[in-house]
A = this chain, B = another copy of it.
Amino acid sequence: MKECSCCSTACDGGICVKKVSIFSSLDHQELVKIQSLIKHHEYQKGETIIREGDKPDCVFIINEGSVKAYKYSPDGREQILYVFAAGDFFGEQYLMGNKKAAYHVEALEATKSCMLTKSDFRKLLTLYPDIAIKIIETLDDRLAHMEQSLQSMGVRSVDARIAALLLHYADVYGSIDKDGILIRLPLSREGMANYLGIARETISRKLSLLENDNLIRTVSNKSILLLDRKALVELSGVNG
């Protein structure tokens, strides 16, 4: 089993593009061909991958690690839009027109990425029409998620938003533990605050309250144990 240079042992037979859903309709041979077009790069924690206003000439596929996509508001506060992890891709929106990046992308930890150039990507689109359909589906999913987030931001109380975020993290980053669900948080308190659009202090306070009520237990800054999922679901929905 060959390993491609970009991948850790987790890499499946050297085909790291296999992880990406937009290529899922292709067979092994086609994947190998695409794999050969790919360049690799590794980013350190805190390193900027795309700067707002850049015109990146490739699409990024994350192999290992995670990144945050964010913008600054005029008054200097950071709004996190996405957290992308292994298997996710980003940058496709800049391949079509000649658009500038609408947000910054920064590595949250050591991150390995695969890159496909603009022209190669376009060739693939004409060669394999199924890819375009996959992309449309992915974009629709992402759009649906944004609609969900927008609704949360607009309507829900801060308590409900925090509960919803914890539940989301439990699904994506959680693992079963004897006392509950252990969540490895992708973001710091400050990061979560910037994602939810609230002050860092507020999320500290709210998490303390949740801990007092035995809904969660703070294990460390980077992980939380979810004790009472049902109560959180309740919080995320009903309570105003």
Residues of chain A at the chain B interface (Cβ within 8 Å): 71, 73-75, 77-79, 81, 92-93, 96-97, 102-103, 125-126, 129, 132-133, 135-137, 139-140, 142-144, 146-151, 153-156, 160, 194-197, 237-240
Residues of B within 8 A of A149 (CB): 150
Name 13 interchain pairs, CB-CB below 8 A, sorted by A.
A71-B147, A73-B151, A74-B238, A75-B155, A75-B239, A79-B155, A92-B140, A93-B140, A93-B144, A96-B136, A132-B136, A136-B139, A150-B150
Q: Quick one: copies of this chain in the complex?
A: 2
B93→A154 contact, CB < 8 A? no
B151→A71 contact, CB < 8 A? yes
Which 10 A/B pairs are nearest by Cβ-Cβ distance? A154-B197, A73-B155, A153-B153, A74-B237, A146-B146, A93-B140, A139-B139, A132-B132, A75-B240, A79-B151
In chain B, what residue has the closest Cβ to A145? Answer: B146
Cα distance A93–B136 in the bound complex, in angstroms: 8
Determine which residue in A129, A146, A148, A150 has the highest number of CB atoms from chain B within 10 A of its CB, and name it. A150
Residues of B within 8 A of A142 (CB): 143
Which among B93, B151, B156, B196 is the interface contact of A143 at CB below 8 angstroms?
B93
**Would A77 and B155 be within 8 Å (CB), given that A96-B137, A146-B147 are in contact?**
yes
B140→A133 contact, CB < 8 A? no
In chain B, what residue has the closest Cβ to A154? Answer: B197
Residues of B within 8 A of A92 (CB): 140
Say whether chain A's binding surface is mostly helix, strand, loop, or mixed. helix
B237→A154 contact, CB < 8 A? no
B132→A196 contact, CB < 8 A? no
Closest CB of chain B to A75's CB: distance in Å?
A: 4
Closest CB of chain B to A60's CB: distance in Å?
A: 15
Cα distance A126–B130 in the bound complex, in angstroms: 10
B93→A133 contact, CB < 8 A? no
A103→B147 contact, CB < 8 A? yes
In chain B, what residue has the closest Cβ to A81? Answer: B147
Residues of B within 8 A of A135 (CB): 136
Residues of B within 8 A of A75 (CB): 155, 238-240
Residues of B within 8 A of A144 (CB): 93, 102
